[in-house]
Chains A and B, each alone.
Chain A
Amino acid sequence: MTSTPGHSDPGNDWPGSPHEAARFILDKLPGCSAVEGTPPTDERFHHGDDAPVLVPPEIIEGAGFTAIRAADPHAVRGVSGFAGFLDGTQDVRVVNQVHGIPIVWATVSAAIRVRVNRRLMAWSGSPPIVSRRYYIPFRYVDGLAGDLEAHPQIVDTARLDSSGNPPSRHPAALMEAAITRVQQDREAVEIRLAEAWCAMESRAIYVDGSITGSAVTASSPLAIGVVKSHRRLYADGDAFRMVVGLGAGERSSVFRVAPRGRSAVASWYLRVRPAAGRDVLFGLVRVEAALGDNSTERASEISRWIIAEGAPLALPDGRWDKMAYGIRDTEEFLRAIS
C-alpha cells in the first residue's frame, strides 16, 4: 500500500510492520509458516548485482579524457546551489515461507528534504512516499487466497523473463527476483518525487543515484544525480588510470551515458575527498546531469556544489566519503517515518 505519512485509511487493515505482515499472510496462504528473526536485507549489498565492468567513455567535452581542476582542495568549501535532496530507502524481509518458498515483505520509501536557513526539512511540494508490499512467486505457491493474487500491493516475482523463462525455484534466485522488483518499486517512487520537483521548483536538487530512469529528470537542468557505486566504470585503458588518479577537487571530462532502456545524460567523475592512502574509489562519485548542460563551466560549478555538500560529514554512515549530509539526513528521516 502506498501511503503518505499523516494520511491513513480508517478501514485499512493492510499490515504496517513486518510482524503484522507475517501474521496477515498466515491466514491467506495455507501451509505457510512465519519466519522469525530474519535481519533486514541491506540494500547496499544488492544494489548492483551486475558484474563489475569497465566501459569506454563516450567523451563529449574536449578532445580527450582528462582531469580538470573543479575546486581548490585547500580552499574553504564554496557555496552549494542545491536546494533539495532526494533519496529512497528499502527494507526487505522474509516474513514467511511455504514449502521452502520465501514470502518477502518490503517497505520502500522516498522523500525530498529542502534546506531552509541551513537546516533541512520535509519538502512541502509532495509528501514523502512510503509503500509496503508482499513479493510472492505465484507460480510456486499454492492456495493463495484468490482475492490477493489481484491485489495491487502483492507483486508476483516469478513472471517470465524476456526469454520466456521463469526464475528458478532456488530460494536465492527467488530472493534475487524479489529484491530486483523491490528496487524497481523504490526507483519508481523516487522518480515520482523527482519529476514533481522538476515540475514545481526552479532550484537544483541533489538526487542520490542515477537520474536516467526518467526522461523528465534526465532532461531537467534541475536534477543532478550523484552515483556512489561503481559496478559499471566508464573508464577503460588510459581513461581508467586517469579516473583512479583524480585528486581531490578534480573531475573528469564530461561523457555521455545512455544505459539500455533508460534516458541519456551527461556524466563525469568527481573526487570529493583526497584518497591518498585509501582505496582507489574513495571519495569518487559519478555525477549525472541533463545533456546540454555539459559545458565545462556548468560541470565544474555542479562539481563545486557537490564538494560543498561534503560538510558536515555523513558519518557514521559507511559511505560517508561519497555521501552528502543532506542524503544522510533524508535516509534518517525515512527511517523515522517508514
Chain B
Amino acid sequence: MSGPLGRVVATERKPNTPHEFHFWTSLDCPVGIGTIVRVDGTHPVDGRIPRIYGIVVEGFSYTDLQSPMHDVLGHDGVPSNAGFAATDRAEIRLYTAAVLRQIPEEPLQPVPMGEVFLAAEEDVATGLRMDAYLREGANTGIPIGVYRAGATDSVIWLDADFLLGPEAAHLNISGMSGLATKTSAVEWLLSSVFTHFPESKGSIAAVCFNVKGPDLCYLDQPASRLEDSDRALYEKMGVKPAPFEKVRYFAPYTAKGFTLNTLRSNEALMHNVTPLTWGLREVLQYAEVLLNKDDLDAKADALIDFVGERVVNRTMEKEGPLSRDHTVETFADLEGWFRDLLQGMERANTDSWRTHHIATIRKVRNRLSNISTRCAGLVTDTGNVSDLPFGSFEDRAVYVVDVASLEEDAQDLIFARVVSRLREHLERRDLGVNNLIVFVDELNKYAPNDAQDTYVRKMLLDIAERGRYLGLVLFSAQQFRSQVHRRIVGNSGTALYGRMDADELATPGYSILSPATRTKLATLEKGQLMVRHPYFTQPIFVRFPRPAVLSGRDGAERFPQVADVSIEAAIYRSLRQLDPHLTMASVQALAGRYEEDELIKALHATKLARPQNPLAFFRSRLSSIIPAEKGNRARAGAIPLRPLPIEDPYES
C-alpha cells in the first residue's frame, strides 16, 4: 500500500460533515476532480477505526499572499522578475471531497481527521458499493469503463439488476454532438452487456433506431482503427474487441418503391438488410400516430374503430349504400370501399350510415387514404408486409431500424408500431428473448419537455415507467437532457454524461454538481464519461474504449451509398442477394416488358418469399399479366411477344 497523499483538515469556517470533507496534498500529488480517495480515521468508533471513501468534487489553491498587490510590489511590477525570486511562496492544494461511503455506516458521523490515501482498486469497489453485486453468488456486474487515477486502474461495474431491471432500469446519455459520446458509448455498452449479461437472467437483444446519418449502419463491420490502449481497456473489462456477430437491418423503401431508404445500401452489405413495409392492417391500429388532434375527434375515432373492427380483413356484403361485396385487405381495397359507400349515400341522398355522418366518412377517408402517400415506401397499397422478426428474436442480436432518411410521420409510425409490438410480445413472453434494449437517440425531438403530447412521447414514457417489469429497457440519448421530458430522464436509473455544452450545464438540473465537476464535464475528452448509477452516491468519471465497430463516417467512405438506380438495376441487385449467379442481362430481358408498378410488386413479393430460384419466382409474379409495350420507350424495332411464363417451376 502506498503512503498517504494528504491529510484531512477542518476549520470552523470549513468544517467537515458526514457528506463532505476537506484535505490538503503536496503540490505534485496526482489528485484531481473526480479522484477517489480513502480516509483512515485515527480514533475507533464502536471499536472500529472508521474508513471513509470520497470523491474529489472541488479544488482550491492559494498562497500566503494576502493581497495581489503584495505580489506586484514584491516583483517591482514586472512579472518576469518573479522567476528570479529565490523562494516560491508557500502554496496549498486544498480539495473538497464528497463522501461516497463510510464504514461503519452507523453511526453516521462527520468525517474525522486522518490521513488520505489514493483509493486502490479494492477501495474503489468498496467506496462505490460495487462489492454488493460483484460478490460471489451475485455477479451481476456490467463493466461501463475504467476509472483511472495515479497508479489505480479500476473497472467500474454497473449492476445489471439496476441497469436492465427489475430493480431499476433504463439508461440515458447526454452529450454534445460530434464528440463520439452518445453513439460510441451505446455501441460499447451493448458489447459489454452482451458479454457480461448474467446467464441467470436469460436472453437479451437490442433494437436500435438509427435516427440520423450512418451512425448505426455498420455494427457488423470491424473498426477501421483500434488503438492498443483501446484493446487494453477491452481486455481489462473482459469484452472481445469485435463487431456484433448478429445484426439485422430494417429499412423502408424510398417513395419510388424499389430501393431501400438507407445509407446502408452498398451491395456488399445488403445481405442482412430487410425491407420494412406494412399494409393496411398493420397501420390502422396506429392511425392515431399520424392524425392530429383536430382530425381525431370522437366521431372520427369511432369510425376508425368501426373500420378496424368491422371492415378490415372482413368481407362486407352488399347492403344499404354499398353496391357490391367488399373484402378490405389493402389501402386500395379500403379506398374502393369508401368510394362505393360515399357514392351509394349520395345516390340515396342520405347523410348518415350506421350513425356515421357523411362528412365524418369523407374526412376519415381523406385522412386514411393519404397515409400511404405520406408514408410512401413504408406503407404499401398492396398490403405486402415485411417486418421485424417478432417472435423469433435471437439472443445477443441487434436489430437496427433505419429511419434516418424518413419523414417525421413515417418515423413516428415506425416507433409507435415497433415498440408497441415489442411490448405486446414481451407481455406474452413470446418475443424470442427475455430482455430487450431499445435504443432511441435524439430524445430532444421525440420526447421533448415542452411540446404538446404526442403518441411517440406517450409510448416512450410508458417504457420508461413500466417497461422494466416486462424486460423492456430504454437506452436513450440526447444532446440536451434539460429539454427531455422529466419523467423519462427521471426514470433512467443510470445516466451517462459526455462533454456538455456550457449553456446546458447552467440549467437547474446540473446544480447538484460542484462548479469544478461542471467544468470537468465541459472539457471531457473523447472516450470519457461521467456515470451516475443507483449504487454510486456521487457521479464517477470513467474511460471507455473506442467501439470495435466501424464508425458511421468511416463506413460511409468504405461502403459508399449506391447512387439512384434504374428499376432494372434495383431488381438485379435485390435478386442477386438471393442468387449470386444472376445476370443483369436476364433481369433486363424480363423487366423491359412490364410496367414499373408491376415490377415493384413482384420484387417485393420475391424479397419477402426469399425463394430458392428468385428469378423464376419473380417471373411467376408477373405471369398473370400480359405486358403491354411501354409507349414511352423508344425501341429500335418490334419485339415479338414471348409466351409467359417460361419455365415457371411454381406452375408445375
Contacts and interface: CB of A to CB of B under 8 A. Distances in A.
B87 A115 contact: yes
A120 B81 contact: no
Interface residues of A, dominant DSSP: loop
Interface stretch (B71-79, B107-115, B267-275, B477-485): B71-79
A332 interface: yes
B86 A316 contact: no
Interface in B77-124: 81-82, 84-90
B90 A308 contact: no
A120 B85 contact: no
Contacts, number: 67
A315 B87 contact: no
Contact of B67 (A78, A119, A315, A332): A315
B86 A308 contact: yes
Contacts of B652: none
B70 interface: yes
A312 B87 contact: yes
B66 interface: yes
Nearest to B69: A315
Contact of B90 (A82, A120, A315): A120
Interface in A63-107: 76-80, 82
A118 interface: yes
Contacts of B64: 328-329, 332
Contact of B84 (A119, A311, A313, A332): A311
A313 B90 contact: no
Contacts of A313: 70-71, 73-74
A309 interface: yes
A120 B84 CA distance: 16
Given A119-B87, A119-B88, A311-B75, A77 B66 contact: no
Contacts of A315: 65-67, 70, 73-74
A160 B87 CA distance: 47
A115 B70 contact: no
Interface residues of A, number: 23
A13 to B, nearest CB: 20
Interface in B472-517: none
Nearest to B86: A80
A312 B89 contact: yes
A309 B74 CA distance: 10
B73 to A, nearest CB: 6
A316 B64 CA distance: 9
Contacts of A115: 86-87
B90 to A, nearest CB: 6
B64 to A, nearest CB: 7
Nearest to B64: A332
B84 A118 contact: no
A31 B88 CA distance: 52
B84 A325 contact: no
B90 A118 contact: no
A326 interface: yes
Contacts of B73: 313, 315
Contacts of A77: 81, 84-86
Interface in A217-265: none
Nearest to B27: A119
Given A316-B66, A316-B70, A332-B64, A311 B90 contact: no
A101 B135 CA distance: 71
Nearest to A312: B74
A121 to B, nearest CB: 10
Nearest to B91: A119
Contact of A118 (B66, B71, B75, B87): B87
A309 B81 contact: no
Nearest to A333: B90
B66 A312 contact: no
Given A316-B66, A316-B70, A332-B64, A311 B86 contact: yes
Contacts of B87: 115, 118-120, 309, 312, 325-326, 329
B481 to A, nearest CB: 44
A332 B90 CA distance: 10
A82 B86 CA distance: 9
Interface string A125-167: 0000000000000000000000000000000000000000000
Nearest to A315: B70
Contacts of B86: 77, 79-80, 82, 115, 118, 308-309, 311
Contacts of B75: 311-312
A328 B505 CA distance: 43
Nearest to B75: A311
Interface string B1-35: 00000000000000000000000000100000000
Contacts of A120: 87, 90
Nearest to B83: A76
A80 B75 CA distance: 16
Contacts of A328: 64
B71 A312 contact: yes
A14 B211 CA distance: 77
Interface in A307-326: 308-313, 315-316, 325-326
Contacts of B74: 310-313, 315
B353 to A, nearest CB: 95
Contacts of A79: 86
Nearest to A77: B84
A115 B90 CA distance: 11
Contacts of B81: 76-77, 311
B90 A76 contact: no
A118 B89 CA distance: 9
B70 A329 contact: no
A315 B70 CA distance: 7
Contacts of B70: 312-313, 315-316
Contacts of B27: 119
Interface string A284-319: 000000000000000000000000111111011000
Nearest to B88: A118
B27 to A, nearest CB: 8
Contacts of A76: 81, 84
A332 B67 CA distance: 17
Contacts of B88: 118-119, 312
Contacts of A309: 86-87
A304 B66 CA distance: 27
Contacts of A82: 86
A115 B88 CA distance: 9
Contacts of B90: 119-120, 329, 332
Contact of A325 (B66, B82, B89): B89
Nearest to B72: A313
A214 to B, nearest CB: 26
Contacts of A325: 85, 87, 89
Nearest to A79: B86
A119 B86 CA distance: 9
Contacts of B89: 312, 325
B403 to A, nearest CB: 62
In this complex, the member of B66, B74, B75 whose beta carbon has the largest number of chain A beta carbons within 10 angstroms is B74
In this complex, the member of A76, A78, A118, A312 whose beta carbon has the largest number of chain B beta carbons within 10 angstroms is A312
B77 to A, nearest CB: 12
A171 B87 CA distance: 44
A300 B308 CA distance: 107
A303 B434 CA distance: 85
Contacts of A118: 85-88
A77 B86 CA distance: 9
A329 B86 CA distance: 13
In this complex, the member of B65, B81, B88 whose beta carbon has the largest number of chain A beta carbons within 10 angstroms is B88
12 contacts: A76-B81, A76-B84, A118-B86, A119-B27, A120-B90, A309-B87, A312-B88, A316-B67, A325-B87, A328-B64, A329-B87, A332-B64
Interface of A: 76-80, 82, 115, 118-120, 308-313, 315-316, 325-326, 328-329, 332
Given A118-B85, A310-B74, A326-B87, 4 more contacts: A79-B86, A118-B88, A315-B65, A315-B70
Q: Top 6 closest A-B pairs, CB basis?
A: A313-B74, A311-B85, A80-B86, A315-B70, A312-B74, A118-B88
